[in-house]
């Protein structure tokens, strides 16, 4: 049976050649089916590179074989498939695959009629995405910005394909630092139970209490007592803790709103009683070992310890993550847990996974766990990202600067002359937050990345500014020719998308790669593939537009003819680009 329209082509070709390999070589059940995109359209659109490894396998069994013959045998064994127009053997035994225009026509018609939809998935699952998970009383820093941007986009991707996504903000709202914060609050705002304390700057408040904690033994002692009171849910202490958390929460929320980010808070404090339970469980299973007064667990043979109980009886980040993963698997029923956290914590998550498996909490055959790690953000001097005076950069200030720079950029291009003030404001925000997100997402997340407003605001190359601008231009082509999106949709019913010109067909084939691009990202969780894809679409579009008239005008500038089939191609290009932006969490604008 042929795959449904809108399925991944790469995936369909893999299945198609898998049949051929099985028919031609039933004695080689493990023969690899290797399909890749062709680097050069001279060699077809895709390639099957299975003949070489199959030849090796045959030779290993003592049979005579040569790759061109193997390729021929594969070609003779493929089932009929309307998506493929032509197969050709090339070089030592590659099979070049050319797609048929008929699949292009069908898929693009489907896109026009039904909108951009995700590739079908075998099974709908529950994916839990842990992000951006900042810590109370500490500012969100650029690392959390990366977590926010990547986590949001990963969540959107899985929502788009139809999985159930639990976006969880694992807020750092628990731990011994609250002892000193609460004690300090009680000292300087004794009537906090009735009147909200006027803490505007929690950073300073944190520093003040830390200073007292380090210098004043009596304060330190009271701070420890406060922790005990807090963790036994004493209402007075709980109230103080709530007040402090709310100050941070409000600041965080402003950032989330600006970035269009949603994540439901289930902070570390939520797990207090579950930590007690999980410690008991680990103890009963005999998994804890004494180590200088601490209780530790070893998940791996390298014996990197996971500290489950501190020597003073308190719990740690490790304890909290053990309780959390158990809750996520057993109560939230997550099939896939994705931690979007900086690469500095990779050992923590590796040991967590090992310990969870060892404790029988995580069955790797049933639940997948990924640490979606990312590298540090560097300044343009390639050193750790800092302000000029050497402090960590506050996110709010960074977003403000982005806004200002985006505004300057638009004015520099004279857009303030063309757009209404409201349109300008919308464009400014889209560009500012869009460029910050795109710069982050378009780099391989595992590498460190250099934060540069100048680079991200360039209007050439693979940047948000260029791509957003391109999208508005594409959208304007139909509009200027007098077609509303509804009118185009109507035309699509009886006009085929124009695919005769080589550049039209090339553009269409890039558009058809959308499903396989998503499938790839769902495997490796690397969103820069989507940015590269978006850039490929826009490049293919430019080539098409430079070579193919959509609208013809006379010397007076009056429209003399409109090629509706080409306008339809513009329309699908725009809708695929728009969907990419949406998954990347970037707002698009109709004018900029």
Paired tokens of 118: 């995700």
Contacts with ligand ARG, 517-536, as mask; x by CB under 6 A: --------------------
User: Minimal distance in Å, beta carbon 369 to ligand ARG?
Assistant: 11
d(CA 32, CA 222): 66
- Rounded to the nearest whole angstrom, what is the least distance from the CB of residue 393 to ligand ARG in the complex? 16
Task: Please list the alpha-helical segments (H only) found in 359-458.
Answer: 395-412, 415-418, 421-441, 453-456
**Closer CB to ligand ARG, residue 172 or residue 299?**
172
Its sign, for the CA torsion 304, 308, 312, 317, is positive
User: How far, in whole angstroms, is CA 98 from its chain's centroid?
Assistant: 32
Nearer to ligand ARG, 58 or 352 (CB): 352
Phi, psi of 556 (to 5 degrees): -80, -5
**Rounded alpha-carbon distances, angstroms, from residue 313 to 269, 307, 535:** 17, 11, 54
> What is the rounded distance in angstroms from the CA atom of residue 192 to the CA atom of residue 182?
10
Burial grade of 523 (CB within 10 A; 0-12, 13-18, 19 or more): exposed
- Closer to ligand ARG by CB, 172 or 434: give it: 172
| 259 or 467: CB nearest ligand ARG | 259
Cβ 269 to ligand ARG, closest distance in Å? 12
The residue among 146 and 170 lying less far from ligand ARG, judged by its C-beta, is 170
- Which run of H or E residues covers position 88? strand 84-90
* Minimum CB–partner distance for residue 586 and ligand ARG (Å): 24
CB-neighbour burial class of residue 584 (10 A; exposed 0-12, middle 13-18, buried 19+): buried
CB of 273 to ligand ARG, least distance (A): 17
State yes or no: residue 324 binds ligand ARG (CB under 6 A). Answer: yes
- Of residues 325 and 568, the one with the C-beta less far from ligand ARG: 325
Minimum distance, C-beta of residue 379 to ligand ARG, in the bound complex (Å)? 21
CA distance 374 to 555: 54
Pick the stretch among 86-94, 126-134, 502-510, 557-565 that binds ligand ARG (CB under 6 A): 126-134
- How far is the C-alpha of 21 from the C-alpha of 27, rounded, in Å? 10
Count of all residues that appear for the chain in the document: 592
Q: Least distance from C-beta 324 to ligand ARG, angstroms? A: 6
Instruction: Give the C-alpha separation, 80 to 363, whole Å.
Output: 41
- DSSP structure string for 300-344: STT--EEEEE-TTS---HHHHHHHHHHIIIIIS--SEEEEEEEGG
CB of 321 to ligand ARG, least distance (A): 5
Q: Which of these segments, 115-123, 129-137, 294-302, 502-510, binds ligand ARG (CB under 6 A)?
A: 129-137
Contacts with 324 (C-beta within 8 Å, 6 or more apart), sequence order: 170, 268, 271, 274
Taking CB under 6 A as the binding criterion, the range among 128-136, 191-199, 290-298, 493-501 that sits at the site for ligand ARG is 128-136
130 lines the binding site for ligand ARG (CB under 6 A):
yes
Give the pair of three-digit tokens for residue 358.
């060892």
Instruction: At 300, list the tokens.
Output: 């791996």
The answer to whether 371 contacts ligand ARG (rule: CB under 6 A) is no
For ligand ARG, the closer of residues 136 and 569 by Cβ is 136
- Separation in Å, CA 474 to CA 246, 302, 572: 45, 56, 10
Q: Is 373 in the site for ligand ARG (CB under 6 A)?
A: no
Instruction: Count residues near ligand ARG (CB under 6 A).
Output: 10
Give CA–CA dist 15/278, Å, rounded. 45
Please identify which residue in 7, 133, 169, 263 interacts with ligand ARG, judged by CB under 6 A. 133
- What is the closest distance, in whole angstroms, from the C-beta atom of residue 135 to ligand ARG in the complex? 5
Smallest distance, ligand ARG to C-beta of residue 567, A: 48
CA distance 149 to 167: 13
Phi then psi for residue 185, to 5 deg, are -60, -45
Q: How far apart are CA 105 and CA 116, in angstroms?
A: 15
Q: Is 8 or 373 the residue whose CB approaches ligand ARG more closely?
A: 373
Cα separation, 60 vs 101, in Å, equals: 40
- How near is the Cβ of 119 to ligand ARG at its closest, in Å? 30
Q: Which is nearer to ligand ARG, 351 or 568 (CB)?
A: 351
Minimum Å gap between C-beta 152 and ligand ARG is 15
Q: What are the helix and strand counts (H, E) for the chain? A: 22, 16
User: How near is the Cβ of 436 to ligand ARG at its closest, in Å?
Assistant: 19
CA distance 41 to 300: 48
By beta-carbon proximity to ligand ARG, the closer residue of 144 and 437 is: 144
Binding flags for ligand ARG, 135-164, as an x/- string (CB under 6 A):
x-----------------------------
In the bound state with ligand ARG, the residue whose beta carbon lies nearer, of 202 and 431, is 202
Residue (341 or 474) nearer to ligand ARG, CB = 341
| Of the residues 139, 318, 321, 429, which one makes contact with ligand ARG according to CB under 6 A | 321
Contact string 160-179 vs ligand ARG (x = CB under 6 A): ----------x-x-------
Alpha-carbon torsion angle 508, 513, 515, 520, nearest 10: -170
CB nearer to ligand ARG: pick between 315 and 339: 339
Does position 504 interact with ligand ARG (CB under 6 A)? The reply is no
Where in 330-359 is the site for ligand ARG (CB under 6 A)?
Answer: 339, 341
Residues 6 or more apart whose Cβ sits within 8 Å of residue 166: 126, 127, 128, 129, 264, 332, 334
Q: Which is nearer to ligand ARG, 135 or 248 (CB)?
A: 135
Site for ligand ARG in 440-459 (CB under 6 A): none
Residue 160 contacts residue 127 (beta carbons within 8 Å): no
| Residue with Cβ nearer ligand ARG (71 or 166) | 166
Minimum distance between the CB of residue 301 and ligand ARG, rounded to whole angstroms? 23
Question: Which residue ranges make up the site for ligand ARG (CB under 6 A)?
Answer: 130, 133-135, 170, 172, 321, 324, 339, 341
């Amino acid at each position: 049976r042929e795959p449904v329209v809108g399925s991944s082509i790469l995936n369909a070709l893999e299945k198609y050649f898998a049949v051929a390999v099985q028919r031609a070589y039933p004695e080689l059940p493990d023969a690899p089916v290797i399909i890749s995109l062709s680097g050069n359209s001279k060699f077809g659109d895709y390639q099957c590179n299975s003949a070489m490894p199959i030849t090796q396998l045959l030779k290993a069994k003592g049979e005579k074989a040569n790759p061109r013959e193997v390729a021929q045998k594969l070609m003779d064994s493929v089932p009929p498939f309307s998506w493929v127009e032509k197969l050709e053997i090339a070089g030592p035994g590659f099979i070049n695959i050319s797609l048929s225009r008929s699949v292009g026509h069908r898929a693009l018609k489907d896109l026009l009629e039904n909108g951009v939809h995700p590739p079908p998935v075998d099974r709908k699952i529950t994916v839990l995405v842990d992000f951006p998970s900042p810590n109370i009383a500490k500012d969100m820093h650029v690392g959390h910005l990366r977590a926010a941007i990547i986590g949001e986009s990963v969540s959107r991707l899985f929502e788009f394909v139809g999985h159930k996504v639990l976006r969880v903000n694992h807020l750092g709202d628990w731990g011994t630092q609250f002892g000193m914060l609460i004690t300090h609050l009680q000292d300087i705002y004794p009537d906090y139970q009735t009147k909200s304390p006027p803490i505007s700057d929690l950073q300073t408040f944190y520093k003040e209490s830390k200073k007292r904690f380090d210098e004043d033994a009596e304060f330190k002692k009271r701070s420890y007592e406060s922790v005990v009171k807090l963790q036994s849910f004493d209402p007075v202490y709980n109230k103080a803790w709530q007040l402090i958390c709310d100050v941070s929460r409000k600041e965080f929320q402003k950032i989330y709103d600006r970035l269009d980010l949603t994540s439901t808070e289930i902070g570390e404090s939520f797990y207090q009683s579950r930590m007690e339970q999980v410690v008991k469980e680990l103890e009963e299973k005999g998994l804890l070992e004494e180590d200088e007064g601490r209780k530790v667990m070893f998940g791996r043979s390298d014996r990197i310890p996971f500290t489950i109980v501190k020597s003073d009886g308190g719990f740690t980040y490790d304890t909290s993550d053990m309780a959390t993963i158990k809750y996520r698997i057993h109560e939230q029923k997550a099939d896939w847990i994705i931690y979007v956290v900086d690469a500095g914590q990779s050992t923590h998550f590796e040991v967590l996974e090992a310990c969870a498996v060892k404790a029988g909490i995580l069955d790797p055959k049933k639940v997948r766990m990924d640490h979606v790690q990312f590298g540090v953000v560097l300044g343009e001097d390639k050193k750790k990202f800092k302000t000029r005076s050497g402090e960590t950069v506050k996110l709010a200030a960074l977003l403000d600067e982005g806004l200002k720079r985006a505004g300057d950029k638009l004015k520099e291009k004279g857009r303030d002359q063309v757009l209404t003030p409201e349109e300008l404001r919308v464009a400014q925000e889209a560009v500012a937050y869009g460029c910050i997100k795109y710069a982050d997402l378009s780099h391989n997340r595992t590498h460190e990345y250099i934060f540069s407003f100048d680079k991200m605001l360039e209007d050439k190359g693979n940047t948000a500014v260029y791509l957003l601008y391109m999208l508005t231009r594409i959208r304007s082509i139909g509009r200027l020719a007098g077609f509303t999106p509804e009118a185009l949709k109507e035309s699509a019913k009886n006009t085929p998308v124009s695919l005769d010109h080589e550049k039209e067909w090339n553009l269409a084939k890039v558009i058809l790669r959308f499903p396989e691009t998503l499938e790839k990202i769902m495997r490796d969780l690397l969103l820069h593939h989507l940015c590269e894809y978006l850039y490929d679409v826009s490049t293919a579009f430019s080539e098409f537009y430079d070579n193919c008239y959509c609208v013809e005008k006379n010397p007076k500038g009056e429209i003399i003819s409109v090629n509706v089939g080409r306008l339809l191609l513009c329309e699908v290009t725009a809708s695929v680009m728009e969907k990419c932006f949406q998954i990347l969490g970037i707002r698009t604008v109709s004018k900029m």
